[in-house]
């Protein structure tokens, strides 16, 4: 495979050091290469730090309005059922403004592959509270730390999607250490294979670091995922009806 044939383009990504986006995107690209699906894949770019996905992915991409990724992906897949459609989006996109689209897309059981980056904060807009911000976590809109009484509790989407009949595969993984990165790679692979085999809707939540807006060093940010985030968002395979 020449560099031009690879899914992830040569060159630097714009993400901050230790940010989970670059790890997750490289994993997705590498799995696409392993499966040989780059030239028949259509991806969606979200609104947020990952909006420039098309600068890194060497495949067809559409940039979606905020929150509407699952709807756009539905339209694409229904018109191009032989193509592989993956979506990539964060906690604000999929769980706040686009929660209805996320749930209904999963509930229809669209034969697509959704990757959800959960880093518990809005990155691109400067570090506001996300639907997944942990209780007590400081953001610029929860300066004293998130308080459930006024802002609710962090939203666990995998657990919600598990109540639905139609999804075939739901798993939560993380990218804060080598062991979990490898497990994430396997989850990404399975989520793509489900679509290739026509099994149905797959959803992979990836717990991810945002050291910049967590106001932490890289090492601390990785530990925050491994300790705080994973104790509220358990690493788990919630559904695997892919066989």
Residues that bind other proteins (CB under 8 A): 38-42, 45, 51-52, 54, 57-65, 67-68, 70-80, 83, 100-101, 104
If the CB atoms of residues 46 and 154 are measured against other proteins, the closer one turns out to be 46
What SS3 state is found at 177?
A: coil
Distance of closest approach, residue 47 Cβ to other proteins, in angstroms: 8
If the CB atoms of residues 77 and 180 are measured against other proteins, the closer one turns out to be 77
CB-based contacts of 135, cutoff 8 Å, min separation 6: 145, 146, 147, 148, 153, 154
Distance of closest approach, residue 53 Cβ to other proteins, in angstroms: 9
As to burial, measured by CB atoms within 10 angstroms (0-12 exposed, 13-18 middle, 19+ buried), residue 118 is: buried
If the CB atoms of residues 65 and 126 are measured against other proteins, the closer one turns out to be 65
If the CB atoms of residues 82 and 243 are measured against other proteins, the closer one turns out to be 82
Distance of closest approach, residue 138 Cβ to other proteins, in angstroms: 28
Distance of closest approach, residue 101 Cβ to other proteins, in angstroms: 5
How many contiguous H segments (helices) and E segments (strands) does the chain have? 11, 7
Within 13 Å and on the Cβ side, how many CA atoms surround 188? 28
Torsion sign (Cα): 102, 104, 105, 111: positive
If the CB atoms of residues 70 and 154 are measured against other proteins, the closer one turns out to be 70
Distance of closest approach, residue 46 Cβ to other proteins, in angstroms: 11
Question: Long-range contacts for 222-226 (Cβ within 8 Å, ≥24 apart)?
Answer: 222/18, 222/176, 222/177, 223/176, 225/20, 225/174, 225/175, 225/176, 226/174, 226/176, 226/177
If the CB atoms of residues 6 and 237 are measured against other proteins, the closer one turns out to be 6
Distance of closest approach, residue 65 Cβ to other proteins, in angstroms: 5
In Å, how far are 61, 96, 204, 241 from 103, measured between CA atoms?
Answer: 22, 11, 14, 18
């Amino acid at each position: 495979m020449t560099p031009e044939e690879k899914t992830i383009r040569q060159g630097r990504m714009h993400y901050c050091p230790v940010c989970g986006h670059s790890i997750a995107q490289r994993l997705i690209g590498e799995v696409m290469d392993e499966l040989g699906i780059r030239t028949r894949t259509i991806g969606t770019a979200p609104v947020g730090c990952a909006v420039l996905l098309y600068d890194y992915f060497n495949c067809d991409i559409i940039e979606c309005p905020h929150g509407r990724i699952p709807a756009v992906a539905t339209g694409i897949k229904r018109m191009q059922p032989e193509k592989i459609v993956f979506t990539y989006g964060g906690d604000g996109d999929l769980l706040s403004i686009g929660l209805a689209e996320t749930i209904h897309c999963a509930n229809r059981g669209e034969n697509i592959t959704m990757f959800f980056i959960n880093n518990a904060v809005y990155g691109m807009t400067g570090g506001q509270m996300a639907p997944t911000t942990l209780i007590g976590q400081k953001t610029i809109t929860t300066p004293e730390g998130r308080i459930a009484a006024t802002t609710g509790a962090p939203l666990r989407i995998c657990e919600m999607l598990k109540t639905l009949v139609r999804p075939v595969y739901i798993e939560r993984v993380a990218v804060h250490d080598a062991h979990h990165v490898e497990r994430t790679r396997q989850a990404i692979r399975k989520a793509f294979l489900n679509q290739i085999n026509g099994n149905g809707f797959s959803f992979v939540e990836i717990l991810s670091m945002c050291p910049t807006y967590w106001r932490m060093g890289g090492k601390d940010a990785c530990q925050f995922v491994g300790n705080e985030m994973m104790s509220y968002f358990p690493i788990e395979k919630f559904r695997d009806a892919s066989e």
